[in-house]
Amino acid sequence: MTATKSLYAARVPIFPRRVSGRFRNLKWVIMAVTLGIYYLTPWIRWDRGPNLPDQAVLVDLANRRFYFFWIEIWPHEFYFVAGLLVMAGLGLFLFTAALGRVWCGYACPQTVWTDLFLKVERWVQGDRNARLRLHQAPWTARKIRLKLTTWSLWLMIAVATGGAWVFYFADAPTLARDLATLQAPGVAWATIALLTATTFVFGGFMREQVCIYMCPWPRIQGAMMDEGTLTVAYRDWRGEPRGKGLRRRERAEAAEAATRAAGPRIGGRSPVIPMQVRGATAVAQPAAPAPAVPGAAGDCIDCNACVNVCPMGIDIRDGQQMACITCALCIDACDEVMDRIGRPRGLIDYVALSDAPREAAGGAPIAAWRHAMRPRNFVYAGLWSAVGIALVVLLFIRPEIEMTVAPVRNPTFVTLSDGSIRNAYDVRLRNKHGEARDFALATGEAMAGRLALSVEGSTDAAVTVPADTQGRVRVYLTAPPGSAPATADRTEVRLWAQDRESGERAFVDTTFNGRETP
Amino acid sequence: MSGKRKDDVTGTETTGHVWDGIEELNNPLPRWWLWTFYATVVFSLIYVVLYPAWPVVNRATSGLLGWSTRGDVAAEIEAVDASQASLFASLTEVDLRVLPRNEELYGFAQQAGGAVFRNTCSQCHGSGAAGALGYPNLLDDEWLWGGTLEDIAFTIRHGIRNDEDPDARFSQMPAFGDILERDQIALLTDHVLSLPGGADPAAGEAGQLFLDNCASCHGENAQGDRTIGAPNLTDAIWLYGDTPEQVASSIRRGPSGVMPPWGERLGEAEVRAVAAYVHALGGGEAQVGEAPVAEGAGATGAEPSDPDEVPFAEEAGATE
């Protein structure tokens, strides 16, 4: 066996360095908001009346109800959930077409929790170099103590994560009490255990492996991006050739001298202005002269800051790659370095693929918002809005009373002893309110006086439907002997239901079957 | 393994695997992926030992845990039976006259009764309970032997004209084909068919025939007698058909339907459950001295007269 690579490789641990900057700050804000929503939402109360849960967001699987603030979804209205999923899909299309893997970099739970775990790790064990040293150090008491502290904190976060999830499926305060007194149902414990395990392992130990080897999204997104998509990239036409130290200084001084000799000028190779609009002055007055001497050093000083802060352990200067989640931390890291060496920011930046040839040829950068103004993005945004508007409209035209009428067809009619003809109907009435409702039933005016209406088990043609249920009653329509409906094959009839309290009403058209006499 | 080399384009080593000249680059899989694969293999081995797995000639190996889907179903049925035991117990003891007032028990009885009905009654009375020629329609409001909950339960419990139950309801209509002449039967047939139209049962020659031969059971007013299951001849319901041929045949043969007793086979609780189900099919009669429950009651309360086709006149005005 020669010294060739094995077919399998162990994970190489990654110890990202701390970084600060605008994207880091944005990510802190997003983490605080998303985690805040995740952990706190189940505890928001929402009064719906005495017989309905008072939890603002609740997925009641046992009773097949979904509550979201003032909205209540029954299983037959699952199209709302389907519509939201369609919107989620279209939203991802839109964001991917416009901003690449922005979901992966900022909002994906794997990213957010890994970020949180890294923060804990850094807090306990120190920054990149300290963690690297600790990793390579033998297992001393100190190392064991630090590692155990880190893992315990991770485990606490993981338990809280799994614990928060189950609160979405049951009344949170009740379940919390049951969990505290060890009386919660087994499925709650199993769910917490499973999510604790996945959070702990994925956030603490698998990290970038999840994104690279387990998640299908990087492949799908690679196919959905195009040359106009903004994504984190390295301006190699500005950074190369990279170099550091003496050699670099010599080249830079040569370039400086050449530029001075040539006098101030605008044009030629573009002054490297980052794509983000930084104010008109930056454009009119280039922050730094361009290297005019061929062979002069690029802006990249090969300090490896972008590599050291990367949670995926990659080098963005290699170009767009599947492992890049576009978390933009390398932008912050590089900007910091550019500030320090007095070069303009944006060596690593949000850039579209189509920018590369233009900027390399000296063209002016295009503003980010112009990149977003592409037909493709408008189509996605339009579709997304259309589905959203349709859902909102559907939500508001949902009838308060829902009635269905199923004529009993076995048999189609019954002859009573006095010769009258009776039809039966299974009438279902939905009551979505938090209290029982009385419904009055009647036939439409056209049949009034010709068809008598009665309800099985009721003396006054009224139905009481308990709170939050669908009531089913058998309704009888009876035609007197020899009357038109009794002797006709079919007669159209309209059944009305009215909520006795609110006065809302609904109708369903159905038919009355008579005994046709030849 | 001699084919390993560095690929010129990518700078990546090849695995040495070659198919028709196509080589495979070695981008190593993560080691944990391999361990995950081994873990699934171990899992499957344990699963095969514990659960039904290998098909043999007429069944699968049973597995050490002895688990089966059939066993699951049996356990579920047992659990349901256990949960319904108390309901069935109270159904056995409840006074049928007050059963409809016990909402939970009454609802349970109707649901359970519907299942029993479809199993044991639908063969004769039809799955919709509409009956057939010679088999009574249970949806209408005529009852040969009475239509209260207690009457229906008694009929189900003991049956009709059977030899198995000494308490079975019993009566016998003679075969008048052996007693009357053909033209007398023809006369009676026309007479009986005219009764629902309001004809006097005692009028004329046919009336005399009726009084002599039929009135002892069907009554002088021809309205029948429930104590002996003699049908009312003045209503619109004809168990054995309403054509002259069918009525004449009924007079000649004296048809007497038979119903088996169900008390032994179903048990008291299920008998009562079926009674509750049948009683609520639209023709059930209230107990004596009780307010009527369904059937036609309140029918006039729902007759609106509103010009815009919408009933509920007064409320409608209030909401708009």
How far apart, in Å, do the first and last CA atoms of chain A sit? 99
Which residue stretches of chain B have pLDDT < 50? 1, 291-308, 314-320
- Report the pLDDT value the prediction gives residue A159, as an integer from 0 to 100: 95
**Which residues on B lie below 8 Å from A443 (Cβ)?**
302-303, 311
pTM score:
0.77
The residue that leads in pLDDT, B108 or A273, is B108
**Which residues on A lie below 8 Å from B301 (Cβ)?**
460-461
Annotate A306-327 with b (16+ C-beta within 10 A) or e (fewer). bbbbbbbbbebbeebeeebbbb
Please count the helices (runs of H) and the strands (runs of E) in chain B: 12, 3
Cross-chain residue pair A457–B140, CB shorter than 8 Å: no
Of B142, B236, B297, the CB nearest to A459: B297
Single-letter residue type at A361:
A
Say if A383 falls within a structural domain. no
Residues 6+ apart with CB under 8 A from A244: A301, A302, A303
The structure tokens listed for A278 are 């930084």
Indicate if the alpha-carbon torsion angle B246, B251, B254, B260 is positive or negative.
Answer: positive
- For B101, the closest chain A residue by CA position comes to A457
Say if A135 falls within a structural domain. yes
Whether A243 and A333 share a structural domain: yes
- Give the C-alpha separation, B7 to A163, whole Å: 50
Closest CA to B152 of B226, B101, B218, B91: B226
Whether A117 and A67 share a structural domain: yes
Instruction: Determine contact, residues A463/A455, Cβ cutoff 8 Å.
Output: yes
Instruction: Determine contact, residues A420/A486, Cβ cutoff 8 Å.
Output: yes
Q: Kindly list the distances between the CA atom of residue A144 and the CA atoms of A61, A135, A407, B196, in Å, as whole numbers in the listed order.
A: 44, 11, 74, 101
Say if A388 falls within a structural domain. no
Question: What residues does each domain of chain B span?
Answer: 1-66, 76-169+259-279, 176-253
Assess A119–B contact: CB distance below 8 Å, yes or no.
Answer: no
Instruction: Determine contact, residues B13/B29, Cβ cutoff 8 Å.
Output: no
Task: List beta partners, residue A472.
Answer: A428
Of A8, A213, A414, the CB nearest to B282: A414
- Report the pLDDT value the prediction gives residue A450, as an integer from 0 to 100: 87
DSSP output for A444-512 = -GGGTTTSEEEETT-SSSEEEE-TTEEEEEEEEEEE-TT-HHHHSSEEEEEEEEEETTT--EEEEEEEE
pLDDT above 60: residue A425: yes
Q: Which of A406-410, A502-506, B86-90, B176-180 has the lowest mean pLDDT?
A: A502-506
B-proximal residues of A, 202-231, CB under 8 Å: 206, 209, 213
**Which residues on B lie below 8 Å from A444 (Cβ)?**
309-311
Say if A102 falls within a structural domain. yes
State the number of CA atoms in the 13 A half-sphere of B73 facing the CB: 3
DSSP state of B299: G
The structure tokens listed for A476 are 């009888």
- Report the pLDDT value the prediction gives residue B229, as an integer from 0 to 100: 93
The residue that leads in pLDDT, A135 or B287, is A135
- Give the C-alpha separation, B101 to B104, whole Å: 9
Distance from the B100 Cα atom to the nearest Cα atom in chain A, whole angstroms: 9
The structure tokens listed for B86 are 């108390």
Cross-chain residue pair B236–A481, CB shorter than 8 Å: yes
Distance from the B302 Cα atom to the nearest Cα atom in chain A, whole angstroms: 5
Closest CA to A236 of A325, A306, A336: A306
Q: In what order do the strands lie in the sheet with A71-73?
A: A57-60, A65-68, A71-73
pLDDT above 90: residue A97: yes
Q: What would the mean pLDDT of A100-128 be, rounded to a whole number?
A: 95
Q: pLDDT-derived band of residue A431, with 50, 70 and 90 as boundaries?
A: confident
Say if A378 falls within a structural domain. no
- Judged by DSSP in three states, A70 sits in coil
**Which residues on A lie below 8 Å from B235 (Cβ)?**
417-419
Instruction: Determine contact, residues A448/A506, Cβ cutoff 8 Å.
Output: no
User: Residue A466's domain is classified under what CATH number?
Assistant: 2.60.40.10
Domain finish residue from A311, A343, A366: A366
Cross-chain residue pair A417–B140, CB shorter than 8 Å: yes
Cross-chain residue pair B282–A456, CB shorter than 8 Å: yes
Say if A479 falls within a structural domain. yes
Whether A123 and A210 share a structural domain: yes
Of A7, A424, A458, the CB nearest to B29: A7
Number of domains in chain A: 3
Whether A198 and A87 share a structural domain: yes
The structure tokens listed for B221 are 């007013």
DSSP state of A202: I
Task: List beta partners, residue B259.
Answer: B160
- β pairing state of A8-9 and B29-30: parallel
Closest CA to B169 of B186, B152, B191: B152
Indicate if the alpha-carbon torsion angle A83, A89, A93, A96 is positive or negative.
Answer: positive
Whether A52 and A155 share a structural domain: yes
Say if A267 falls within a structural domain. no
Examine domains B76-169+259-279 and B176-253 and report if their fold is the same: yes
Instruction: Determine contact, residues A442/A468, Cβ cutoff 8 Å.
Output: no
Closest CA to A76 of A466, A473, A433, A432: A432
- Report the pLDDT value the prediction gives residue B320, as an integer from 0 to 100: 30
Cis ω for the linkage preceding B28 (within 30 of 0): no
Cross-chain residue pair A452–B303, CB shorter than 8 Å: yes
Whether A166 and A59 share a structural domain: yes
The structure tokens listed for B57 are 């000639």
Domain finish residue from A306, A340, A366: A366
Q: Position of tokens 């279902």?
A: A428
Whether A235 and A161 share a structural domain: no
- For B306, the closest chain A residue by CA position comes to A445
Of B126, B282, B319, the CB nearest to A503: B319
- Report the pLDDT value the prediction gives residue A320, as an integer from 0 to 100: 86
- Give the C-alpha separation, B277 to B274, whole Å: 5
CATH topology for B76-169+259-279 is Cytochrome Bc1 Complex; Chain D, domain 2 (1.10.760)
Q: Which of A124-128, A434-438, A490-494 has the lowest mean pLDDT?
A: A434-438
- What is the pLDDT of chain A when averaged over all its residues? 87
Assess A472–B contact: CB distance below 8 Å, yes or no.
Answer: no
Closest CA to A288 of A220, A345, A243: A345
- Judged by DSSP in three states, A313 sits in coil
- Give the C-alpha separation, A498 to A508, whole Å: 12
Q: What would the mean pLDDT of A365-394 be, rounded to a whole number?
A: 92
Tell me the residue range of the domain where A413 lies: 402-513
Say if A116 falls within a structural domain. yes
Of B31, B137, B297, the CB nearest to A8: B31
Whether A347 and A415 share a structural domain: no
- For A481, the closest chain B residue by CA position comes to B236
Cis ω for the linkage preceding A411 (within 30 of 0): yes
Instruction: Determine contact, residues A337/A229, Cβ cutoff 8 Å.
Output: no
DSSP output for B99-116 = GGG-HHHHHHHHHHHHHH
Instruction: Determine contact, residues A242/A301, Cβ cutoff 8 Å.
Output: yes
Q: What would the mean pLDDT of A436-445 be, rounded to a whole number?
A: 89
B176-253 CATH choice from 1.20.1630.10, 1.10.3720.10, 1.10.240.10, 1.10.760.10: 1.10.760.10
Distance from the A499 Cα atom to the nearest Cα atom in chain B, whole angstroms: 10
Whether A204 and A78 share a structural domain: yes
pLDDT above 90: residue A461: no
pLDDT tens-place string over residues A23-51: 999 999 999 999 999 999 999 999 888 88
Cross-chain residue pair A452–B126, CB shorter than 8 Å: no
Distance from the A282 Cα atom to the nearest Cα atom in chain B, whole angstroms: 41
Q: pLDDT-derived band of residue A277, with 50, 70 and 90 as boundaries?
A: very low
- Report the pLDDT value the prediction gives residue A253, as an integer from 0 to 100: 67
In this complex, how many residue pairs, one in chain A and one in chain B, have their CB atoms less than 8 Å apart? 167
State the number of CA atoms in the 13 A half-sphere of B240 facing the CB: 18
Whether A82 and A159 share a structural domain: yes
Whether A198 and A238 share a structural domain: no
Closest CA to B312 of A370, A461, A291, A320: A461
How far apart, in Å, do the first and last CA atoms of chain B sit? 88
Cross-chain residue pair B296–A505, CB shorter than 8 Å: no
- Judged by DSSP in three states, A256 sits in helix
- Report the pLDDT value the prediction gives residue A35, as an integer from 0 to 100: 95
The structure tokens listed for A101 are 């893997």
The residue that leads in pLDDT, B298 or A300, is A300
- Report the pLDDT value the prediction gives residue A474, as an integer from 0 to 100: 93
Cis ω for the linkage preceding A241 (within 30 of 0): yes
Q: Position of tokens 């609780």?
A: B269
Q: pLDDT-derived band of residue A252, with 50, 70 and 90 as boundaries?
A: low
Task: List beta partners, residue B89.
Answer: none
